[in-house]
Amino acid sequence: MKIRLLLNFCLLAWGTAYSQTTLKHIPETNTIAGTYLLISVDNLLANGSRVHLYGDNPHGILIIDDKGNYSLQIVSEGRSKFAAGDKSKGTDEENRLAIQGNNSHFGTYTIDTGKRMITFYIQHASFPNWEGAKQVRPFEFDGKMFKYTVPAPTTGGSVTGEVVWKRVE
């Protein structure tokens, strides 16, 4: 009986020690989760120059939760108001500028920390062609700044997009 009790105690102690060392290898809570404000949205041209897609001071917010959901909104700086004050009565030009000056989408995401890739699974977007799309983006993250690149932006051509966000403290 004493031997069985001692054996059970040893197994329990070994199991506890093993699980504690094993749990250390399980990734901590998703450290990328948080709220971010937009710093820049640029297209990088082959010659090294930058095009500020939403102006010199674009506005935006990215919210990433630790359950795999995200929401992203980007708007151009200095957007003009509709003359009629009613979006259903906007002119063709007002509507065109409003759409071109807006990029929003939401859905779920996954992160491959080993490859430094984030994948957005877009449920709905201001650009309807993205709905249902999966977008894989290489990223850099230092705890405060989150930057990802867009290998083939919707503007086309041989450019790479770069989006930089700063975590809200």
Give domain limits for the chain.
30-167
Residues 143/163/118/48 CA torsion (nearest 10 deg): -110
Which class does domain 30-167 fall in?
mainly beta
pLDDT tens across 69-79, in order? 999 999 999 99
Q: Which of 80, 78, 98, 77 is nearest to 88 (CA)?
A: 98
Q: How far is Cα of residue 22 from the mean position of the Cα atoms in its chain?
A: 30
pLDDT band, very low/low/confident/very high, at 80 (cuts 50, 70, 90): very high
pTM: 0.79
Strand partners, 119: 110, 136
Of 167 and 17, more confident? 167
Query: What are the CA-CA distances from residue 128 to residues 46, 57, 71, 146 (Å)?
Result: 28, 25, 16, 25
pLDDT tens across 149-158, in order? 998 777 667 7
Distance between CA atoms of residues 49 and 43, nearest Å: 8
SS3 for 14-42 is: HHHHHHHHHHCCCCCCCCCCEEEEEEEEE
pLDDT band, very low/low/confident/very high, at 159 (cuts 50, 70, 90): confident
Strand partners, 69: 108
CA count, 13 A, side-chain hemisphere, 166: 5
Contacts of 122 (CB under 8 A, 6+ apart): 105, 106, 107, 130, 131, 132, 133, 134, 135
